[in-house]
Amino acid sequence: MKRAKTKIFHDFIAERGLKSTRQRDIILEAFLVSDRHLSIEELYLHLRAAHPTIGYVTVYRTLKLFAESGIAREFQFGDGQTRYEHVAEGEHHDHLVCVRCGAISEFSNAAMEAIQDEIAAAQGFIIQHHKMELYGLCSACQR
């Protein structure tokens, strides 16, 4: 899976006529083994210890490229941070976001997906993608 995403990204870079750089490869590696829903800042701080020459702007731009190449999805969960998660081809899930502690959990529900398709079909609409985000308090924050 990781290898497939690396290849997708390298093909994308080549198609764009961009040079592949060592820094980008380091960022890619760190991103693909990271937890999900990482903010730019979190990934930058994580990299900084071992790779002090990689700047914030490079991380920022590289994550944008990951999203454009299709190996990452970009999210804003209302805390002012842009977050990225790596995604597998055809994989889909939605998110529960805790407004107090910022915890993000994932869910997928076939019935809900089917209802969305029905709603779209009723209007002659073809869904290409969607994001469902439910905001509230996680179980820990309710105590």
d(CA 119, CA 110) in angstroms, rounded, equals 14
Q: How far is the CB of 51 from Zn ion (least distance, A)?
A: 26
Q: Is 98 in the site for Zn ion (CB under 5 A)?
A: yes
DSSP at 112: H
**Tokens 């889909």, located at residue:** 92
The yes or no reply on residue 132 touching Zn ion (CB under 5 A) is no
SS3 per-residue string spanning 17-50: CCCCCHHHHHHHHHHHCCCCCEEHHHHHHHHHCC
Per CB under 5 A, 134 contacts Zn ion: no
Of residues 85, 105, 95, 106, the one with CA closest to residue 5: 85
Beta carbon nearer to Zn ion, 63 or 98: 98
Q: Give, as ranges, the residues between 66 and 85 that touch Zn ion (CB under 5 A).
A: 85
Selected from 106, 117, 119, 133, the binder of Zn ion by CB under 5 A is 106
**Of the candidates 7, 16, 100, 131, which one interacts with Zn ion according to CB under 5 A?**
100
**Residue numbers of the site for Zn ion (CB under 5 A)?**
85, 98, 100-101, 103, 106, 138, 141
